[in-house]
């Protein structure tokens, strides 16, 4: 859906990674909003868009119904015009047949167009149509009726009288056609003036744009909260890592101290060994001196050994 160059992608979207169907979020276009599963139950974004769409659809639907009603009325009038046109055509066909029959009748009776009989027939037709008559015309009609009509005149007038129904039918259809044309013009002017659908589409677009702006804010806020949560998690992870590093440093320091202690102990052991070595050397010297003394005093070997033992203790 596009609303003023802002695109909403409707997909299976939830919070975090799930908001993009398990795919990582990518901000490739700041005018692009990942609307997610707007049909999710209790999802405020879904509810907002559903409400906006419902309202927009109602406005457009009402406008369509209004325009459709007007179009139906216009179509009815146009259909009626076709009926009037057909009636006029049928009436004209009948009237033409009557004119042709009267012409054939005149030819059959051999009545010339400029004859008195034909002129009198035209005056009789005028009387039949109840048209305005002059004084001279009324006097002549009285004379014609007194003398009596010819067969040709009677039959011609009868044919003409039979066309009165079609003349009336044609006149009514023509009046209906005129009224229908006026109605069509009125419908067209009203439709151009109202522009119901155009206004409805604009209103619907405004509703969707407003909803999109609100949804955009909701999603940005949600993204901000998500980022804050991630930052807090990273901060906690950093603290934990710092604690671990501190523990490692303490362990290293403890190991270093233990190493120093071992080295000191080793030095003490070395010193003790040196002292013992020196003591052994002195002891040997002492023993040599004692042996020398004993030798000098000519002591028994056994006494010398016992003296050596006592000296070692």
Q: What is the pLDDT of residues 252-289, one digit of tens each?
A: 777 677 666 666 656 665 665 665 666 567 667 767 77
CA angle 175, 178, 180 (to 5 degrees): 110
SS3 assignment, position 6: strand
Contact, 180 vs 36, CB < 8 A? Answer: no
Q: Using 50, 70 and 90 to split pLDDT, how confident is the model at 176? A: very high
- 3's enclosing H/E stretch is strand 2-3
Rounded to whole angstroms, the Cα distance separating 4 from 32 reads 11
Strand partners, 6: 3
Mean local confidence (pLDDT), 156-179: 94
Question: Any idea which of 11-20, 78-87, 194-203 has the lowest mean pLDDT?
Answer: 11-20
More confident residue, 203 or 114: 114
Question: Any idea which of 80-84, 149-153, 285-289 has the lowest mean pLDDT?
Answer: 285-289
- 12's enclosing H/E stretch is none
CA angle 126, 129, 132 (to 5 degrees): 60
Q: What is the pTM of this model?
A: 0.44
Mean local confidence (pLDDT), 17-39: 43
Q: How many CB atoms lie within 10 A of CB 279?
A: 10
Helix 151-162 and helix 44-109, axial crossing angle in degrees, nearest 10: 180
Contact, 290 vs 307, CB < 8 A? Answer: yes
More confident residue, 106 or 311: 106
Rounded to whole angstroms, the Cα distance separating 61 from 210 reads 19
Whether residue 222 has pLDDT greater than 70: yes
Whether residue 66 has pLDDT greater than 80: no
Helical H segments across 36-163, by residue range: 44-109, 116-128, 135-147, 151-162
CA angle 101, 105, 108 (to 5 degrees): 135
- DSSP state, residue 26: -
Within 8 A by CB and 6+ apart from 94, the residues are 163, 166
Rounded to whole angstroms, the Cα distance separating 26 from 36 reads 14
Q: Rounded to a whole number, what is the distance in angstroms from the first to the last CA of the chain?
A: 106
Mean local confidence (pLDDT), 64-73: 70
- Mean pLDDT for all residues in the chain: 75
* pLDDT for the residue numbered 110: 95
Mean local confidence (pLDDT), 62-71: 68
100-125: per-residue pLDDT in tens? 999 999 999 999 999 999 999 999 99
* pLDDT for the residue numbered 171: 94
Phi-psi region of 190 (alpha: psi -120 to 50; beta: other; left: phi over 0): alpha
Specify burial of residue 169 (Cβ count, 10 A radius: 0-12, 13-18, 19+): middle
Rounded to whole angstroms, the Cα distance separating 193 from 311 reads 137
Question: Any idea which of 24-33, 48-57, 280-289, 291-300 has the lowest mean pLDDT?
Answer: 24-33
Q: How many CB atoms lie within 10 A of CB 244?
A: 10
Rounded to whole angstroms, the Cα distance separating 52 from 1 reads 13
Contact, 174 vs 84, CB < 8 A? Answer: yes
SS3 assignment, position 263: helix
* pLDDT for the residue numbered 236: 80
More confident residue, 168 or 303: 168
Closest CA to 115 of 161, 156, 160, 146: 156
Whether residue 24 has pLDDT greater than 50: no
SS3 assignment, position 8: strand
* pLDDT for the residue numbered 185: 86
Whether residue 148 has pLDDT greater than 80: yes
* pLDDT for the residue numbered 33: 46
Strand order in the sheet with 6-9: 2-3, 6-9, 32-34
* pLDDT for the residue numbered 203: 66
């Amino acid at each position: 859906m596009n609303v003023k160059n802002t695109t909403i992608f409707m997909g299976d979207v939830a919070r975090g990674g799930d908001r993009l169907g398990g795919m990582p979020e990518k901000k490739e276009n700041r005018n692009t909003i990942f609307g997610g599963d707007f049909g999710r139950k209790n999802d405020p974004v879904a509810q907002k868009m559903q409400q906006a769409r419902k309202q927009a659809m109602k406005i457009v639907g009402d406008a369509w119904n209004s325009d459709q009603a007007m179009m139906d009325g216009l179509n009815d009038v146009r259909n009626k015009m076709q009926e009037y046109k057909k009636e006029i055509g049928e009436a004209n066909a009948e009237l033409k047949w009557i004119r042709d029959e009267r012409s054939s009748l005149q030819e059959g009776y051999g009545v010339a167009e400029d004859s008195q009989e034909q002129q009198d027939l035209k005056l009789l037709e005028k009387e039949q149509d109840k048209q305005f008559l002059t004084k001279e015309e009324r006097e002549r009609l009285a004379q014609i009726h007194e003398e009596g009509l010819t067969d040709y005149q009677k039959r011609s007038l009868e044919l003409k009288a039979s066309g009165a129904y079609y003349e009336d039918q044609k006149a009514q259809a023509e009046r209906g056609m005129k009224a229908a044309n006026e109605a069509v013009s009125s419908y067209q002017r009203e439709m151009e003036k109202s522009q119901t659908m155009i206004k409805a589409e604009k209103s619907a677009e405004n509703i969707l744009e407003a909803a999109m702006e609100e949804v955009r804010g909701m999603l940005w806020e949600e993204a901000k909260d998500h980022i804050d949560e991630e930052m807090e998690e990273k901060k906690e992870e950093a603290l934990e890592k710092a604690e671990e590093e501190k523990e490692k440093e303490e362990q290293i320091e403890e190991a270093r101290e233990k190493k120093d202690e071992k080295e000191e102990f080793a030095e003490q052991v070395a010193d003790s060994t040196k002292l013992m070595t020196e003591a052994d050397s002195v002891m040997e010297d002492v023993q040599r001196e004692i042996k020398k003394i004993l030798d000098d005093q000519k002591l028994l070997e056994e006494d010398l050994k016992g003296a050596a033992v006592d000296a070692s203790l």
